Each structure stands twice: as structure tokens, then as C-alpha cells.
Amino acid sequence: MIDVAVIGAGLTGLALAHSLQAQGVKLAVFEARDRVGGRILTHVPQGPGAHVDLGASWYWPDTEPRMAALVESLALKSFVQPDQGHVLSLVDPARAPDVLDVQGIHGGARRLSGGMGTLTRSLHGRLLEGTVKLGHRLVAVHDAPDHVELHFARVESGVQHVERVTARRVVLTLPPRLLAQSVRFQPALSASTAHALASVPTWMAREAKAVARFDRPFWHAQGQSGSAFVSHPQAVLREVWDASDEQGAALAGFCAMGPDTRRPFERSLPLLASSQFAQLFGPEAHADLVLVNDWSLDAWTCSELDRLDPEPLPPQADPVLRRPHWSGRLFFGGTETARHAVGHMEGALESAARLADFLRHAKPTRHGTTRPLEESLASFELWVTLERQDAVPRYRQHLNQMLARQDRDRVTQRAMLATAEQTYTRALEQLAALELGWGVNRPLTPTGRSELTPQVLAPFSGFSKSLVNDALAFNASSCALSNFDTEHRPDADYLQAITVDLAAAWREFAWATNDLLCSRSGPSP
């Protein structure tokens, strides 16, 4: 029997496996595809040319520290997304595109040399041989008193059969809707958990990307950045950007049509995309070969619920999916379940870190080898004091990045929430690393609350209120926000919406704190 079974070899699964392996946990990663990476997919040409990302492409170091740290730890090379030059806007297909009065729209985004696939390949390469098992499609999860039994469908020599695996604990990092659609749970999940799984839109599930390679980035000579927005009803691509790297030049874009609308144009979509590149950047942008990757056709990404969702909201999971299930034997993960940076690679790493806090072997306390409980709690309180001082600078980073990307929809509310969630996530990681001692924090009955929960939460008293006050003071003095009355001086309704968001984030943090403390209770295994 293995200690931990991780289902899904995307970024969350690989990062979690990397962390648990370093802690000496016996684990295995199971993946339905014949490759690792999930929605990270880099197309590498057989000859010269740009390495282009058909899935996840960017990260933002200023507000996504996990990605920045992982790239550095793996010694991967990154570069700034090309952003210099004019940004185009095409609103009338019968006219030439207009030039927008903006400078750069990607807000300091970075990409990886060789494509994002180098990230997942590097993580995979650092796992013990045989840890990742490809071609394993999860079909059922059965709970037992002291373990979980997994059923996988496999194909060998053209024959499908079922393989059974037992593990003490299981992490499901697949998109929640795919779990709801294709995995049988015994006993059945609670109604609230099943509803939560089915309610989370899958990031990238309805998207398609088109990419064309060129001999050189000719658009630079025209003073253009390669970025463009297309908003007329006949648009093939709604957004275009420079996808060049050190290996060659390229343009890429997101398809404007939804999955059902573009299905009749599946064969002609490359030609239509090439025509739109040329309409934006001139005849040189006609490409003989355009790669189109339609994620809605990927059975391991897009569920039937995603296909039927006409206007999906941004993925944001119910907090129930971030809590332990089946008495701590079953966990959900993946970027859709993240508290912060949902849908980004940062969110995938945040999810992996949360799971590692629960799953790594806790160190048993031995007399004289660890700090007293009071000293550990005092250390945590000092950490919280210093962390609270970083809240406003962190808020400003989130705000500035949104504005740099021309994203001005309720930026105050979203930046405050991102700041709070990032702070709480960091606090949970800090708490998981504390030496609290085995059996010290036994849960109270009948509520199941840990004795230590009130003490751990106490240093955060007044945090939300001070964050709001300090952020509003900054807004009032900000030149960048002076032309946006709603953000410069939010009205009562806007402030109420912010308060509700922060209160929800606080409640979830309190639950997560208690869950984590309770997981550390009891005798050492």
C-alpha cells in the first residue's frame, strides 16, 4: 500500500509529488494521458522555430511568488513577454485596425525559454523513476476504514482492463467537473460536495488557441507590439499577442467563437486565423501553417457541463473542496480549487502547497528536541505582525498589475481579496511548519475545534478592517485611480461588497486553520 496516491500529472500533481518525495512520503502519480503537464502543453517544431505554448503561457513574478520561486529553483530561464510597440484594435472588419493609446498590456508577464513544458518536464525528471504512471484513467474511488481503493481503466495490447490500487490517502487534482462526470465514489459524496464539484467551470475548457510561426517578427519594424483586440461580430480571434521566443517569431491568439460555433469551421479555422493575422499585421502575416489547439475537444480537460455552460464564470471553487474528506483520506486539488490565482499556474502551486501541508509526515515531538508550544505560538504571532505590514504593498502590486493589463473591473475589490487570500495562504504554510507537538492540540468535542485554533487566529484580529482602511487611503491619493470615481472613492454599496468578500475569506481561513491543527492531533503515526 502506498502512502499517497496523486491523480493527475499536471502542475499541481507534479509539484505536490516533488514536495512529498522530499519529505520521504511513499507515493505514486496516476495520469490518464500519455504525457505529463495537463493543460501545460508546448509545441516544439521539428526544425528551427519558436517553441509555442498551446495552453498555459504566462506568470507574473510581482504577484505570483510561487511560480517565480519554482522557476528559480529549477534553474529555468525566463524572459519578459514582448510588449513594446502599438496595440491594435479592430472593431470594423471593413476598415484598418485602430491604434490604442496604451503602452503594454501584459503587466510584466514572463514566459519560459523552451515553453512552459520545460516546467512540468523538469518536475517530472526530479521524481523517482516509476513514480508517474501514464495511461491510468480513474473510474472509481472506494473508501475503507483505513485506506482508499482506486480503480483505473488501462489499455494493454488493445485490451482494456481495470487495475486496483490501495493508498492510505488520495489526492484528486483533476478538474472538478470531470470528477463529477466520470468518477464513481463509494460511498457517494455528500450533496454539497457533489454540487461543488459540478459548479466549478474548468479553466481553458472552452478555449482554443491559434499559433503561426514566422521567419522574423516583422511587426516590430512597423512599430507594433504584436498585441491586438478584435471585437467585431465576425471575429475569428478575439485577442492576439507576440508568441516569439529566442528560437523564432510567432503570433498567437484566442479564438473568439465558442466551442459549438467553431465546430463547423474546424477544418477551415487555421486558414481563417491566418487571414485575421494578415488583416491585423499585413500580408506578411499570412501563414502557410497555423496550429490550432481546441481544448474543448480534449476529453481530459472539457466536461459535458463545460460544453453546455454558455457563459461560464471565472473558476472559483466552493471552500468545501479545500477541506479534507472521508476522515482525512480524500482531498481535492488543482488550480480550480485554489484560494488565490485561480486558473493560473500560481493557483496550481498554491493548491499543491496546501495539500502538502496536510499530507507530509509531521515530525513527532521528542523531549528537548523542539521548542515549547508557547515559543512556537509566539514565533507565529511575530510572523503575522510582520506579514500584516506587507499587506498594503501587496495590495498595490495586485492593483498595479490589473491596471497595467487594462483590467479595470472592480479592481479595488479584487485586489483586496487577492491580498487577503494570499496572506491567509502564507499563514497556513507557516502554521504547518510550526513545531506544535503531537497530541497537544487535541480537538474539543462535540464541535471538533482544536484547542489551539483561537490562539492561532488571535494575531489576525482587525486585519480585514485595517486592510480596507489602508487600501482606501492609498486609493484616495493614487493618481492612477483619480479618473475612476468608483475606485478612487468607493461608495457604500461597493464597500459592502468588499466587506462581504473579506468576511468569507476570513471564515474559510478559520476553517482551514482548524482543519490543519486537527490533522496534527493525536499520537504520532
| Tens-place pLDDT, residues 202-232 | 999 999 999 999 999 999 999 999 999 999 9
pLDDT band, residue 521 (cuts 50/70/90):
low
**Does residue 404 have a pLDDT over 90?**
no
Which pLDDT score, from 0 to 100, does residue 445 have?
A: 47
Pairing assessment for the beta strands 249-255 and 237-242 based on DSSP bridges? antiparallel
- The architecture (CATH level 2) of 41-62+77-111+206-297 comes to Alpha-Beta Complex (3.90)
Which pLDDT score, from 0 to 100, does residue 485 have?
A: 79
| Tens-place pLDDT, residues 165-193 | 999 999 999 999 999 999 999 999 999 99
pLDDT band, residue 375 (cuts 50/70/90):
confident
Could you state, in order of their start, the residue ranges of all structural domains in the chain? 1-40+116-201+301-361, 41-62+77-111+206-297, 366-519
Average pLDDT over residues 379-383: 92
Pairing assessment for the beta strands 290-294 and 208-214 based on DSSP bridges? antiparallel
Kindly tell me the sign of the dihedral angle through the C-alpha atoms of 59, 65, 67, 69: positive
Is 1-40+116-201+301-361's fold the same as 41-62+77-111+206-297's? no
> Could you give the 3-state DSSP secondary structure of residue 332?
strand
Q: Which residues pair with 162 in a beta bridge?
A: 153
**Does residue 365 have a pLDDT over 50?**
no
Which pLDDT score, from 0 to 100, does residue 437 have?
A: 57
Residues 82 and 244: beta-carbon distance below 8 Å: yes
Kindly tell me the sign of the dihedral angle through the C-alpha atoms of 404, 407, 412, 418: negative
In one-letter notation, the amino acid at residue 367 is H
The grid coordinates of residue 358 equal 496536510
Q: What is the 3-state secondary structure (H, E, C) of 92-158?
A: CCCCCCEEECCCCCCCCCEEECCCCHHHHHHHHHCCCCCCEECCCEEEEEEECCCCEEEEEEEEECC
Average pLDDT over residues 85-106: 92
**Does residue 368 have a pLDDT over 60?**
no
The distance from CA 247 to its chain's CA centroid, rounded to whole angstroms, is 27
**Does residue 91 have a pLDDT over 50?**
yes
- The CA angle 34-38-41, to the nearest 5 degrees, is 90
CATH superfamily of the domain spanning 1-40+116-201+301-361: FAD/NAD(P)-binding domain (3.50.50.60)
Pairing assessment for the beta strands 159-172 and 148-156 based on DSSP bridges? antiparallel
**Does residue 440 have a pLDDT over 60?**
no
| Tens-place pLDDT, residues 115-163 | 999 999 999 999 999 999 999 999 999 999 899 999 999 988 888 899 9
Half-sphere exposure of 252 (CA within 13 A, CB side): 25
